[in-house]
Amino acid sequence: PRKIIIDTDPGQDDAVAILLALASPEELEVLAITAVAGNVPLPLTSRNARVVCELAGRTDVPVHEGAKAPLVRTLVTAEYVHGKTGLDGVDLPVPKMPVASQPAVDAIVEHIRREPPRTVTLCPLGPLTNVALAMQSAPDITERLAGIVLMGGAYFEVGNVTPAAEFNIYVDPEAADVVMKSGVDITILPLDATHQALVTRPRLDAISAIGTPVARAVSGWLDFFERFDLEKYGHAGAPLHDPCVIAYLLRPDLFEGRHINVEIETASDLTRGMTVADWWRVTDRAPNATFIGKVDADGFFDLLTERLARLK
């Protein structure tokens, strides 16, 4: 299996992404989960990551705590989307599993150094603070990474937190800038892709029909998520952002994108965190990322439902 580290700020969609990875042991080995402040503050993202591991019966996967705040900005959170706990929608037990003693940034660096070169893939599902800090403290890891597959940014679908920016990149644009300039092989799942992966009623019903505790939790989360998105976008079916990252690792054939240049706006207040994606290749700036523009949504939800059914 491919070795991955999931850097995350759960978040209902982060939680589903973690479950999808844990349900796919033949293809993916989750070395560690590293929590970062984002959707909610760090104590809650760390707690939620452990809630998800316990739900999946995978307390063997270490959960490390990372950055409490972005590199230079004040933390912006999204309780208005995810609820007070970050994981509203279903009541789950307070996790008993402890936080791993090693800080997230050290764990990221150590795993990448310990494994053979180009065998570890980083999967950031939140603001890129932990990843940027790891690159700054240990520049050698960029050479050793197999790649980064992340959820963030937007081009045609533009912003969900400001007219210009997607939440993960907006929260810590300086960190995103460090990552985009790192030279690592990067794949980006932006809103352009995730806004095609909509949780419609029949798709949600198919997950609920699995009938396991995991499926019940997922349907509770997605139902909660949906309420917000219906109000905001006016169409039924909330975009299921973060699981697209894991699905891309499992089934890249479900996605289409372009290898292009993507730069992060850090100077302007108006367009802070905008992912300036040279989709039409109108500049001579060197490509630094594969920017996904299309997802086979039915294929994605079939995969997700089939995998979630493997968990109890």
* SS3 (DSSP) at 22: helix
| Region of residue 305 (phi > 0: left; psi between -120 and 50: alpha; otherwise: beta) | alpha
Q: Cβ distance 298 to 198 under 8 Å? A: no
DSSP element (H, E) containing 150? strand 145-151
Q: Measured from the CB of residue 76, what is the shortest distance to ligand BDR in angstroms?
A: 11
Which residues within the stretch 36-55 sit at the binding site for ligand BDR (CB under 6 A)? 39
248 in contact with ligand BDR (CB under 6 A)? no
Is 160 near ligand BDR (CB under 6 A)? yes
Residue 81 binding target from Ca ion, ligand BDR, none, CB below 5 to 8 Å by type? ligand BDR
Q: How far is the CB of 54 from Ca ion (least distance, A)?
A: 19
Nearer Cβ to Ca ion (14/192): 14
Chain residues in the site for Ca ion (CB under 5 A): 9, 11, 14, 125-126, 242
CA distances from 150 to 64, 92, 173, 239, 247 (A): 19, 27, 14, 16, 12
DSSP SS3 for 306:
helix
Rounded to the nearest 5°, which phi and psi values hold at 275?
A: -95, 100
Nearest-5° angle of CA 129, CA 136, CA 262?
Answer: 65
Residues belonging to the active site = 241
Count the Cβ atoms, other than its own, within 10 Å of residue 189: 28
- Bridging pattern class, strands 238-239 and 28-35: unpaired
Residue of the chain from 6, 7, 14, 275 that contacts ligand BDR (CB under 6 A): 14
Residue 295 contacts residue 240 (beta carbons within 8 Å): no
Q: In the complex with Ca ion, which residue's Cβ is closer, 14 or 65?
A: 14
The only residue of 203, 241, 272, 307 in contact with ligand BDR, by rule CB under 6 A:
241
- Select from ligand BDR, Ca ion, none the partner in contact with residue 192, using the beta carbon and a kind-dependent cut-off of 5 to 8 Å: none
Q: How far is the CB of 13 from Ca ion (least distance, A)?
A: 6
> Which of ligand BDR, Ca ion, none does residue 129 bind (CB under 5 to 8 Å by kind)?
none
Based on CB atoms, which residue is closest to ligand BDR, 55 or 123?
123
Decide if residue 125 touches ligand BDR (CB under 6 A).
yes
172 makes contact with ligand BDR (CB under 6 A)? no
Q: Which stretch binds ligand BDR (CB under 6 A): 87-95, 164-172, 272-280, 296-304?
A: 164-172
167 contact choice in Ca ion, ligand BDR, none (CB below 5 to 8 Å, kind-dependent): ligand BDR
Structure tokens at 272: 């802070």
